[in-house]
Copies of this chain bind each other. A is one copy, B any other.
Amino acid sequence: MENLQAVAIKKLEERGVTIHDMALLVYDLQKKYAPDLTIEDCENMVEHVLGKREVIHTVLTGIALDVATEHDLLDPEINQIIKSDEPLYGIDEILALSIANVSGSIALTNFGYVDKTKPGIIGVLDKLGKDQKQCHTFLDDIVGAIVSASVSRIAHK
């Protein structure tokens, strides 16, 4: 899995998302519950979450769908639905929730919260997608889920 984790981290970076970007969100969400928390702790936890097989599979599948959509490689009906990030299309959130699910209920509520408030890098991805410069329909939710799973794991320690 180590090799596949490196692939996932590289793909995330190619799409504009670093471990540090995600760690900043984790820190903001959790600092008031854990006063001694450092950014480095958050980076370590994000990296730990990115070592899980189901997370790696979700990252690779979600980015593959975003990229295929950007290049118009899918059937026209579904390509259009994904490209426009249609509000009633929920497969992106379902895929992302599979990451949040394995980290318990604190992850689920944080996922809902960041999905609605779109802080930091999640807002950046969302804006790039809405402007149709890139397709991040899947990635913004997946980043939200990785962040939420990391928050939950810090809370459980």
Q: Which of B54, B73, B94, B109 is A116 in contact with, Cβ under 8 Å?
A: B109
- How many of chain A's residues touch chain B, expressed as a range? 35 or more
Docked pose: A75 CA to B104 CA in angstroms: 24
Residues of B within 8 A of A11 (CB): 75
Give how many copies assemble into the complex.
Answer: 4
| B73 pairs with A73, CB closer than 8 A | yes
Task: Give chain A interface residues in 65-115, CB to chain B under 8 Å.
Answer: 65, 67-68, 73-75, 77-79, 81-82, 87-91, 93-95, 97-98, 101-106, 108-113, 115
| B102 pairs with A98, CB closer than 8 A | no
| A108 pairs with B101, CB closer than 8 A | no
Residues of B within 8 A of A75 (CB): 11, 60, 63-64, 67
